[in-house]
Chain A
Amino acid sequence: DAGVTQSPTHLIKTRGQHVTLRCSPISGHKSVSWYQQVLGQGPQFIFQYYEKEERGRGNFPDRFSARQFPNYSSELNVNALLLGDSALYLCASSYSPGQEGEKLFFGSGTQLSVL
């Protein structure tokens, strides 16, 4: 079975540009969460989507947005990139958010470098 897939794996952008990151969850999983991980820190929660609706949002500026499609895949968009947006962006899927004993399954991430 395919795990969580993310694309692209690496990306280099310049300040002010826009970026779109993509995530395909495990088949049968309806919830997708996005995390940002800066080097040396734990993953920071950005968004959670379930059945195409936003279920949670972390402490990130409005430059960050996301959506979930009918096939449960998801996109994370970041506008007006800043140097501080350089990080590993992780997508995780689960069957249902807050489901008893919820387990997150993570992709390998997209490494974004903003120059």
Chain B
Amino acid sequence: LAKTTQPISMDSYEGQEVNITCSHNNIATNDYITWYQQFPSQGPRFIIQGYKTKVTNEVASLFIPADRKSSTLSLPRVSLSDTAVYYCLVGALNSGNTPLVFGKGTRLSVIA
């Protein structure tokens, strides 16, 4: 599995756009990228997933450059409730035997 590297922490003011970049230099051809959000004492929650280019849903956007060696989670106009830990995961398509591995994540603090 490709190892991921993320910033340990980030701070942002309410209403700003937040971009969290994840590095996965050894990503394989059949790997996809998934981001999860976790609040204290809760399980992680799926945010967004992509393979290449750009994916957007009602919560966030995911930008993946052509070489796929990194990805950027973009959270538009964050609020205090977006304060959480964000994890970037790389997982193999149709693997069946390769579990998803979490790193330490990025702790986002949103300030009023």
Chain A contacts to B: CB under 8 angstroms: 4, 33, 35, 41-45, 48, 50, 55-56, 58, 88, 90-92, 96-109, 111
Contacts and interface: CB of A to CB of B under 8 A. Distances in A.
A56 B99 contact: yes
A99 B94 contact: yes
Contacts of A55: 96-97, 99
15 contacts: A41-B104, A42-B85, A42-B105, A48-B99, A55-B99, A56-B98, A56-B99, A58-B99, A88-B41, A91-B43, A97-B95, A98-B95, A106-B43, A107-B43, A109-B43
A42 B45 CA distance: 13
A33 B99 contact: yes
Given A42-B87, A42-B103, A56-B98, A106 B45 contact: yes
B32 A43 contact: no
B102 interface: yes
B41 A101 contact: no
A83 B95 CA distance: 35
Interface in B71-96: 85, 87, 91-96
A98 B91 CA distance: 8
A105 B43 CA distance: 8
B100 A104 contact: yes
Interface string B23-61: 000000000101010000111111001000000000000
A42 B87 CA distance: 8
Listed from nearest, the 3 A-B pairs whose CB atoms lie closest are A106-B43, A98-B95, A42-B102
A73 B41 CA distance: 22
Given A42-B102, A101-B93, A108-B41, 18 more contacts: A4-B43, A35-B102, A43-B44, A43-B102, A44-B102, A45-B102, A55-B99, A58-B99, A90-B43, A98-B91, A98-B98, A100-B32, A101-B32, A103-B34, A104-B44, A106-B42, A109-B41, A111-B41
